[in-house]
Every structure is written in structure tokens, then in C-alpha cells.
């Protein structure tokens, strides 16, 4: 559904005022962030992918390290995935790293084949639809790259923009089309990237989900929710879902010479490409030790003896939580093989630091290093 005629008239009436106030505010209050310097399409792309569902403060150092190691699309495309995942370790949502790497390889291949009649002259395609065809780039990221890197007048709707416009226009549950129509009405053709970035910044630092700093907002007198004193009622909160919890076990299987068994997750699985101490979920009625023995047989075809408990790690993912119990184990029968994994290795304690691991397995790795001292 498009914007109502009344809202269109409201936005058109305040268009110049809104634009001037927002850009003046941004010019004075924009945060000093590393991706706002030496801008290239590639640097904009990397920053936008990292910022998906991740706080600016978290991304800051990761971005600097990543760009130092992979300063160009060519360097990223030439790297192996394991190295890319290692640089991403701890940032979460690892499918972003896999998609970024795959897209870089597609771009480099397109350039080599001289495809798309100059579309890739600036490495990334300067076209919203072409950007969306690349792995890991959705509507928001394509809009952000297109407007910031190529000055293309197109909306970039993230959670911050949704919240700001929901409050300014007093829309409880705006649709994507309504939000795009609203941004388009105020989006200046001469500076679309600056406008989109300023709007996102406004939502991040002023129009916050809780306790918005309305007196600092350049749009305070334009905001219908603020006028009604109901800022936090917009947008309407989504119903909370019950978050499931799982008990999970992991095996630190040791050889007599101290080598440790690790497995690599399949690319199509959650945390694909990351290395882990193999294991899995406990089923109803199982002890955690029995679950670990079953999982190692199903995953790698080996029988293990479960020994002492090493560490318990609790972690919350987006849609579920886990309590992970790690045990020192010994190989009793069979030779490891990949039944439900991508690869496996016997490694030394020193090798643990070189492998990309998720937060939970990295905590186990640190406990293993202490145990083996």
C-alpha cells in the first residue's frame, strides 16, 4: 500500500524543511567512523555487510582489520574461505562472510570476462538491480551501496530508518512500500547517499528504540508521535516469540600424543565453514554423555569414551539459546570420517588459534589450552 494522500501532502509540504534540518544536523553530528573515509564502492560494500544486524561499536575494529588484510576486491576474491572466516571470527552471522567472499569472486570473474558492457568498471555494479543479484545483497544493502557509493537516488530502509519514519508519520506498522515511498518523497537527487546515511544516523543515535533523545532531534517539530507524546509506541512492537533452549554436547577427543579431533561444518549448515569440536543436541530422555556418544557415531562414525567435564558455555543465538557441555574424550573404536561434516583434522593445541571458530568453540579452545598446559 502506498502512502495516503494526506501523508503525501504532509511530506511534500515539509520536504525542504526536513531536508535542510537533517543534512545540517548530520554535518555537525556525524560520527567519526573509518568507513566514511577514502570511500570506494568496495569499502562501502564491506562496511554495509558488516553493519547488518551488528552494532557500529562492534564493527569498528573488525572493519579496520578486514580492510587491512583484504584492501581490494581482488585480494578478497583470491583468499581462501577459511582465511576470510578467520578474519570474521567473533562478528557472527557468518553467512555474510561467505556471501561476501563468493560475490567478490563473481565480480572478479565478470571483470576478467569483460561482461556486462562496462557495468563492472568500478568493480561493483553501479545499478541497484545488478547489486541485488550478488550473493548476500538484499534490498537495504543494495540501496545503501547504490546511494552512498554511486550517488543513485534510491531508498535504503534499515531498522533505524523504519523507526524514524514510523514516528515522524505516526505509522504503527508501516509496509516496505510505504517506507520506500516516504523516503523517496524527501530523498534529494543531488545527495541521496548523504540523506540515507543521515537518516540512519538519526535513528541510531537520537531516535533510539527506548528513551529517544527528542530534544536533540532536527525533526522534533515534524514528528507526529512526539507531538502526541507517544514516541515509544511507534513502530508497534512485534509479538515476542518463545525462544527455544537446547542442551548441546561437544567432544574434545584426544590422541595419546595430544592431538585433538576437530570437524568443519558443512557450507549449507548454520556456521558453515567454521571449525568445531564435534557433537550435537541432546534428545529427550538422553543423558548429555549418551547424546555425545550418539552424535560422534552419527557425525563421524566413531565410538568414544566420554571422560571428565571440561567447561560449560551458554550462548544466545538469534532464534534459540544453548547450554554447551564440553567433555574430554578418547577414541575407542573406528577411524573418523565425514558423514555429517565437511572435513576433519587431527591438530595440535597450537593449531587451534589458526582455525576459524564460532564464539562457543573458541571458548572451549581456550579451556583446552589451559587443560593441556
98 and 216 co-located in one domain: yes
219 and 265 co-located in one domain: no
Cell of 351: 593449531
Q: If you average pLDDT over every residue of the chain, what do you get? A: 94
Given pLDDT bands bounded at 50, 70 and 90, which one contains residue 325?
very high
What is the sign of the dihedral through the CA atoms of 331, 333, 336 and 338?
Answer: negative
pLDDT average, residue stretch 100-126: 77
How far, in Å, CA of 301 to CA of 287, rounded?
Answer: 20
Classify residue 240: in a domain, yes or no.
no
Q: What is the pLDDT of residues 216-275, one digit of tens each?
A: 999 999 999 999 999 999 999 988 889 999 999 999 999 999 999 999 999 999 999 999
Domain containing 271 equals 245-372
pLDDT of residue 122: 57
How far, in Å, CA of 344 to CA of 277, rounded?
Answer: 10
Work out the percent of the chain whose per-residue pLDDT is above 90.
Answer: 92
Classify residue 334: in a domain, yes or no.
yes
75 and 209 co-located in one domain: yes
Last residue of a domain, which of 192, 210, 233? 233
Where residue 332 sits, what CATH number does that domain have?
A: 3.90.79.10
249 and 229 co-located in one domain: no
Given pLDDT bands bounded at 50, 70 and 90, which one contains residue 197?
very high
Work out the percent of the chain whose per-residue pLDDT is above 70.
Answer: 97
Classify residue 200: in a domain, yes or no.
yes
304 and 344 co-located in one domain: yes
224 and 273 co-located in one domain: no
Pairing of strands 321-333, 343-347: unpaired
* pLDDT(116) > 70: no
* pLDDT(118) > 60: no
How many Å is the Cα radius of gyration of the chain?
A: 25
Q: What is the pLDDT of residues 261-280, one digit of tens each?
A: 999 999 999 999 999 999 99
Q: For the ranges 43-57, 122-136, 179-193, which has the lowest average pLDDT?
A: 122-136
Please name the residues in contact with 13: beta carbons below 8 A apart, sequence gap of 6 or more: none
Query: Quick one: DSSP state of residue 357?
Result: B
215 and 250 co-located in one domain: no
Q: Could you give the number of structural domains in the chain?
A: 2
194 and 229 co-located in one domain: yes
Classify residue 293: in a domain, yes or no.
yes
User: Could you give the residue numbers annotated as active site?
Assistant: 48
pLDDT of residue 239: 87
Q: What is the pLDDT of residues 136-150, one digit of tens each?
A: 999 999 999 999 999
Q: Which helix (H) or strand (E) holds 251?
A: strand 245-254
Last residue of a domain, which of 233, 255, 277? 233
137 and 11 co-located in one domain: yes
Given pLDDT bands bounded at 50, 70 and 90, which one contains residue 117?
very low
210 and 61 co-located in one domain: yes
Classify residue 367: in a domain, yes or no.
yes
Classify residue 48: in a domain, yes or no.
yes
Taking the model in full, what pTM does it have? 0.90
Query: Quick one: DSSP state of residue 178?
Result: H
pLDDT average, residue stretch 20-26: 98
Q: What is the pLDDT of residues 28-50, one digit of tens each?
A: 999 999 999 999 999 999 999 99
Q: What is the pLDDT of residues 272-306, one digit of tens each?
A: 999 999 999 999 999 999 999 999 999 999 999 99
> 226-247 burial, b for 16+ CB within 10 Å, e for fewer?
beeeebeebbeeeeeeeeeeee
269 and 355 co-located in one domain: yes
For 177, other C-beta atoms within 10 Å of its C-beta total 11
133 and 74 co-located in one domain: yes
pLDDT of residue 240: 85
Where residue 34 sits, what CATH number does that domain have?
A: 1.10.340.30
Last residue of a domain, which of 191, 207, 233? 233
Amino acid at each position: 500500500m502506498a502512502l495516503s494522500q494526506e501523508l503525501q501532502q504532509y511530506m511534500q509540504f515539509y520536504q525542504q524543511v526536513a531536508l535542510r534540518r537533517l543534512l545540517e544536523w548530520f554535518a555537525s553530528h556525524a560520527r567519526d567512523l573509518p568507513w566514511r573515509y577514502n570511500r570506494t564502492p568496495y569499502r562501502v560494500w564491506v562496511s554495509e555487510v558488516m553493519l547488518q544486524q551488528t552494532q557500529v561499536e562492534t564493527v569498528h575494529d573488525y572493519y579496520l582489520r578486514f580492510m587491512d588484510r583484504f584492501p581490494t576486491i581482488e585480494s578478497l576474491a583470491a583468499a581462501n574461505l577459511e582465511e576470510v572466516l578467520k578474519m570474521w571470527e567473533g562478528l557472527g552471522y557468518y553467512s555474510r562472510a561467505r556471501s561476501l567472499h563468493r560475490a567478490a569472486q563473481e565480480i572478479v570473474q565478470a571483470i576478467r570476462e569483460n561482461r556486462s558492457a562496462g557495468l563492472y568498471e568500478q568493480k561493483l555494479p553501479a545499478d541497484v538491480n545488478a547489486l541485488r543479484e550478488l550473493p548476500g545483497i538484499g534490498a537495504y544493502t543494495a540501496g545503501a551501496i547504490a546511494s552512498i557509493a554511486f550517488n543513485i537516488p534510491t531508498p535504503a530502509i534499515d531498522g533505524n530508518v523504519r523507526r524514524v519514519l514510523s514516528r515522524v508519520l505516526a505509522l504503527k506498522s508501516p509496509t516496505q512500500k510505504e517506507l520506500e515511498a516516504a523516503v523517496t518523497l524527501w530523498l534529494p537527487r543531488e545527495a541521496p547517499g548523504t540523506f540515507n546515511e543521515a537518516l540512519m544516523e538519526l535513528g541510531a543515535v537520537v531516535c533510539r528504540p527506548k528513551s529517544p533523545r527528542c530534544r536533540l532531534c532536527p525533526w522534533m517539530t515534524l514528528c507526529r508521535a512526539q507531538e502526541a507524546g507517544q514516541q515509544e509506541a511507534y513502530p508497534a512492537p512485534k509479538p515476542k516469540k518463545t525462544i527455544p533452549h537446547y542442551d548441546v554436547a561437544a567432544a574434545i577427543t584426544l590422541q595419546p600424543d595430544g592431538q585433538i579431533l576437530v570437524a568443519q561444518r558443512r557450507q549449507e549448515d548454520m556456521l558453515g565453514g567454521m571449525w568445531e569440536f564435534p557433537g550435537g543436541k541432546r534428545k529427550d530422555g538422553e543423558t548429555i554423555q549418551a547424546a555425545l556418544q550418539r552424535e560422534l557415531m552419527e557425525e563421524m562414525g566413531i565410538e568414544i569414551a566420554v571422560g571428565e567435564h571440561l567447561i560449560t558455555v551458554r550462548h544466545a543465538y538469534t532464534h534459540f539459546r544453548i547450554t554447551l557441555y564440553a567433555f574430554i574424550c578418547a577414541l575407542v573404536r573406528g577411524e573418523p570420517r565425514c558423514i555429517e561434516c565437511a572435513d576433519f583434522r587431527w591438530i595440535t593445541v597450537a593449531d587451534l588459534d589458526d582455525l576459524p571458530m564460532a564464539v562457543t568453540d573458541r571458548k572451549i579452545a581456550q579451556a583446552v589450552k589451559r587443560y593441556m598446559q
